[in-house]
Homo-oligomer: A and B are copies of this chain.
Amino acid sequence: MSEAYVHGYEPHESERLQTQAGTLVDLLHRDTRYPPGSRVLEAGCGVGAQTVTLARQSPDAWFTSIDISAESVAAARRATDAAGLANVEFQQADLFALPFAPESFDHVFVCFVLEHLARPVEALAILRDLLKPGGTLTVIEGDHGSAYFHPDSAAAHQAIQAQAELQRCAGGNVLIGRQLHPLMVAAGLDRVQVSPRMVYVDGSRPDLIDGFTRKTFTAMIEGVRESAIAGGVIEADAFDAGIRALHRTAEDDGVFCYTFFKGVGQKR
C-alpha cells in the first residue's frame, strides 16, 4: 500500500465508494460470515465502505481494520460508529510493514486493494503469514476488462483506458480480478476457489442503472478527469466523449456489464 492511490480522498469520492458498497453489498458479501469469537483482519479498509457490512454480518467476530491513510481510518471509524458497531478496532498501518505477529488472525479480508499494488503476490503472502493454520483469506477485486456495454463505443473504452493507464503508472493493475486464482495460488494459498460476481444492468433495472452504471462505474472514470488530462493520458474532448458514451449506456435501451471476482483460499 505504499503506492499512490488512484481513487480520490475527497468527500464526494467517499460518497461514491459508499454508494458502490450499498449497491453491491449482497452481490459481493452475502457469503462472507465469520464465526463467533474469530479474529479477522481487514487489510485496506479505506473509508469503511466494506467494514460496516463485514462487522454487521458477523456481529460476534472481532475485526481489526487497517489502512495506510490515517484520514481514511478516521472516516471508517466514523462510519462504524454511526452504524453502532462495537466489534471493530482501527489502526493506521502499511500492508507491507504490519505490526502483527505471524498467526495473529483466524481470517483475513481484502477488498479493492490488490488493484493498487505493484506486488500483489507479496502482499498476499504477507497476509497468509498472519493467518493461523486453516484460516481463510478472502479477496475481492474488479476487472475493467470485464466492462462492456450497449451501445458499444470506442470513446467510452478510451476513457476507461485512461483511468487504467493512470492506475498502471501508480503501480496498479485494473485487470487484476481475472487473475485472482493464479495470484492466490502463487502466494501459497490452498484450496483457492474464485467466483465471478457479474453486475448486469439493462432498462428493466433502474436501481442498478443509477446505483451502478452512473454512480459507481461512470463516476469512478469521471473522477480521474483532471489527473488524466493533466497527465497527458487523454485529451479533454476525447475523455468527455467517452463519459457521454458511458452515460448513453444508462438510457432505457442501453446495457452495462461489469464483473467482480471473489477468491477464498486457506492457509495449510
A residues near B (Cβ < 8 Å) are: 143, 145-146, 148-150, 152, 175, 178-179, 181-182, 185-186, 192-196, 198, 200, 202-204, 253-255, 257, 259
Contacts and interface: CB of A to CB of B under 8 A. Distances in A.
Contacts of A149: 178
A148 B145 contact: yes
B150 A178 contact: yes
Given A181-B202, A182-B254, 7 more contacts: A145-B148, A150-B178, A182-B203, A193-B204, A194-B202, A198-B198, A257-B259
A209 to B, nearest CB: 12
B202 A255 contact: no
User: For the complex formed by this chain, how many copies does it contain in all?
Assistant: 2
A175 B204 contact: no
A29 B107 CA distance: 37
Contact of A195 (B152, B175, B186, B200): B200
B196 A181 contact: no
